[in-house]
Amino acid sequence: MVALAAAAGGSSSLLALVALILALGVVAQVLGDRFRVPSVLFLIITGILVGPEVLGLVELETFGGPTPLSAIVGFAVAIIVFEGAFHLKLDKLGEAPSATFRLVTLGAAISFVGTAISVHYLLDASWGISFLVGSLLVATGPTVVTPILEVVAVRDRVEAVLETEGIVNDVTAAILAVVIFETFRVQEPGVSEYVRLFAERLGTGVLVGLIVAGVVWYLLRHVDLSPDNAPQNARLLTLAGAVVAFAVANSIYSEAGVAATATAGILLGNADLPYEEQIESFKGDVTLLVLSFVFIALAALLEFEKLLDLGWQGIALVLVVALVLRPALVFLSTTGDRFTSAERWFISLVGPRGIIPASVATLFALELSNVDSPIYNEAGANVLVGTVFLVILMTVVFEAGLARQIAEALDVIPMRVLVIGGGKVGRQLAARLDDRGENVVIIEKDPEIVEIAREAGYTVHMGDGTDTDVLRSAGAGNAKILVAATGDDDANLLAAQLANSKFDIDTIIARANNPDNVEAFEDLGVRTISSAMATAWAIDNEIERPALANWMTHIGRTGDVQEIQITSDQFVGRTVREIGPELPEGCLIALVSRNGETQVPDADFTLQDGDRITLLGRREGVREAMDLCNPSG
């Protein structure tokens, strides 16, 4: 009875601790959203506070030892990697395909070899430990990159590169580390041994991921799971597929599970599944809890003594990894692409390490004592764990924690647009601007409308758009466009005048609901759009120009019209005839504005620096042409 009571008490204690960790994780997420800082920073700090170095609430024995913790971390990583892969859309990869490929091949190789050499010479570690550390620190990972991109809105091409690198390199790092670890069990391993072990794990993972994705897709598409509760069953089936893929692949070869979940996630995320929005929402909530638990649990196992033992050499290693190797591999990988120098520096300075290095390093350190090899020993284990956790800690604190400030300093955040009024007009406008890649913030004071807009996925700042403090806190200080789009003309006029007098905003536009107010608005220097006149123009276009009206209605889906200033030497000083063949297919120059005058250019019209041209054509072609005309755009 006493033993049973003790077991029950231990179980209750563990349950309470798990509940505490999850609660702290949710608080960290809320703080991250509140202060617009990646939540990973708060998760790391929380883990250190509850760990043995501070409060001592979480220790290795809390989880029953290394084996149970390894299993917990393994399944958590499966869900996290699956979540990141599921959101990786193949059409987004088209934003920068060559740079992405080079970053996960050439870039990963530079990181791997450069880190290993640095560890060997700075920390006097064996080559075995050095290459093990080098393989783990290849990974950036969606666990740290995704939270950054949620609070730092960057252009699609930058987001695509960072997300893809994180997902692919998570898989690469995990498998590469296991291969290195396993080959040193073998006497004098050769290149063929490395290739065989890597191919076994990657191939197994891809095969299992393909099979699981195919089964889940078939069940969701062709089997009536439940007429009454199909969305919930679809969510559960998808989540179960991620866990099954990981478990099956890992049971065949260690760390093959990461490749399996990544493969299954990418395939299912691009398979046009039914109830896809519900699946994404559900997985996001589950991942939030799992991410919180794992980061806090692993951070709690951090021992400051192992970090201090590295001395100044450890700090030097972090600086080499973050400020030498990372920029070198990014600039080499993005050479010749459409990235601006500022964007390349942002990618260079935002490459924090995450869950995969931490979890695998912890697992290896626990297993090193069982490896009969002179290369691996307790000193090597301390270097492995200390180095990996120091790099994670420093890069998360400085790169993730300061990501927004880095982006603002480098001016890589797309044009900020403030839309005052979250009603139907405001939300429709925000949707179009957001689709174009702009950083849109809606200001709305009605709590019900705020809730509707937020549920639709918009960034909404609650408050009165006619209040200077509200405008400032919403970002009017660095906004380039403000649109007053409420149903109240007096509010729209006041907001426009405040924005004009208090903030340096390039373009201010007000909506006039009463056409009689248009002249009064414009007399006060406010650019105005009349709702009545806009509706009349739209109806007139349907009557007189039905083909154009229909095409304009579908702008953003198939076609697009965009105006942009020319800065590229490729276009300045050349005629429209010369430039035409170099424009993307399905795109043409429709108008040119110069010195306040706009005209339809003929073939011999010569473009000048500063001209604003209107591009018309297919959506993809117009977006590509914009980058050609204004690379810094």
DSSP assignment of 260-290 equals HHHHHHHHHHTS--TTHHHHHHHHHHHHHHH
How much is the pLDDT for 217? 92
pLDDT confidence band for 430 (50 / 70 / 90): confident
Residues in Cβ contact with 423 at an 8 Å cutoff, skipping those fewer than 6 apart = 444, 449, 485, 486, 487
β-pair type (559-565, 587-594) = unpaired
How much is the pLDDT for 370? 56
Report, as an integer, the average pLDDT of 573-595: 86
How much is the pLDDT for 360? 74
Report, as an integer, the average pLDDT of 524-529: 82
Q: Which two tokens stand for residue 107?
A: 């870039």
Residues in Cβ contact with 550 at an 8 Å cutoff, skipping those fewer than 6 apart = none
C-alpha 36 chain-centroid distance:
14
Q: How far apart are CA 136 and CA 237, in angstroms?
A: 31
Report, as an integer, the average pLDDT of 305-314: 85
- CATH architecture observed for domain 416-543: 3-Layer(aba) Sandwich (3.40)
> Lowest-confidence range among 94-98, 264-268, 458-462, 552-556?
552-556
Residue 477 has pLDDT above 70, yes or no: yes
Q: How far apart are CA 483 and CA 471, in angstroms?
A: 12
Domain 2-410 matching CATH 1.20.1530.20: the answer reads yes
Q: Regarding predicted confidence, which is higher, 302 or 210?
A: 210
The type of residue at 355 is I
User: Residues spanned by CATH 3.40.50.720 within the chain?
Assistant: 416-543
Model confidence pLDDT, tens digit, residues 247-257? 999 888 877 88
Q: Which two tokens stand for residue 131?
A: 């290459």
Q: Which two tokens stand for residue 292?
A: 């919180």
User: Residues spanned by CATH 1.20.1530.20 within the chain?
Assistant: 2-410
How much is the pLDDT for 347? 92
Highest mean pLDDT among 5-19, 38-52, 100-114, 348-362: 100-114
pLDDT confidence band for 36 (50 / 70 / 90): low
Residue 544 has pLDDT above 70, yes or no: yes
Q: How far apart are CA 141 and CA 360, in angstroms?
A: 13
How much is the pLDDT for 12? 63
The 507-512 sheet, strands edge to edge: 460-462, 439-444, 416-420, 479-484, 507-512, 527-530
Residue 135 has pLDDT above 70, yes or no: yes
- CB-CB contact of 369 with 385 (8 Å): no
User: Residues spanned by CATH 3.30.70.1450 within the chain?
Assistant: 557-629
Q: Regarding predicted confidence, which is higher, 318 or 269?
A: 318
Q: How far apart are CA 142 and CA 139, in angstroms?
A: 9
DSSP single-letter state for residue 396 = I
Residues in Cβ contact with 572 at an 8 Å cutoff, skipping those fewer than 6 apart = 566, 607, 608, 609
The CATH code for residues 557-629 is: 3.30.70.1450
Q: How far apart are CA 519 and CA 515, in angstroms?
A: 8
Model confidence pLDDT, tens digit, residues 483-519? 999 989 889 888 888 888 888 788 889 998 888 888 8
pLDDT confidence band for 386 (50 / 70 / 90): confident
C-alpha 570 chain-centroid distance:
32
Residue 96 has pLDDT above 90, yes or no: no
Name the region of 337 (left: φ>0; alpha: ψ -120 to 50; beta: rest): beta
Q: How far apart are CA 45 and CA 58, in angstroms?
A: 14
> Could you tell me what percent of the chain has a pLDDT over 70?
85
Q: Please state, as a whole number, how many other Cβ atoms lie within 10 Å of the Cβ of residue 558.
A: 11
Model confidence pLDDT, tens digit, residues 174-217? 778 877 776 665 555 566 777 777 788 888 989 999 999 999 99
How much is the pLDDT for 4? 40
How much is the pLDDT for 75? 76
Q: How far apart are CA 173 and CA 202, in angstroms?
A: 11
Looking at the chain, how many residues does it have?
633
- CB-CB contact of 354 with 392 (8 Å): yes
pLDDT confidence band for 225 (50 / 70 / 90): low
- CB-CB contact of 82 with 263 (8 Å): no
pLDDT confidence band for 2 (50 / 70 / 90): very low
Distances in Å between the alpha carbon of 77 and those of 86, 161, 282, 360?
Answer: 14, 21, 17, 10
Model confidence pLDDT, tens digit, residues 548-579? 667 666 655 567 788 888 887 778 888 888 88
How much is the pLDDT for 6? 42
Highest mean pLDDT among 397-401, 444-448, 522-526: 444-448
Q: Return the axis-axis angle of helices 66-86 and 142-151, rounded to nearest 10°.
A: 50
What is the Cα Rg of the chain in Å? 27
HSE at residue 83, side-chain half, CA atoms within 13 A, is 25
Residue 150 has pLDDT above 60, yes or no: yes
How much is the pLDDT for 8? 45
pLDDT confidence band for 1 (50 / 70 / 90): very low
Q: How far apart are CA 499 and CA 480, in angstroms?
A: 11
How much is the pLDDT for 377? 62
Residue 3 has pLDDT above 50, yes or no: no
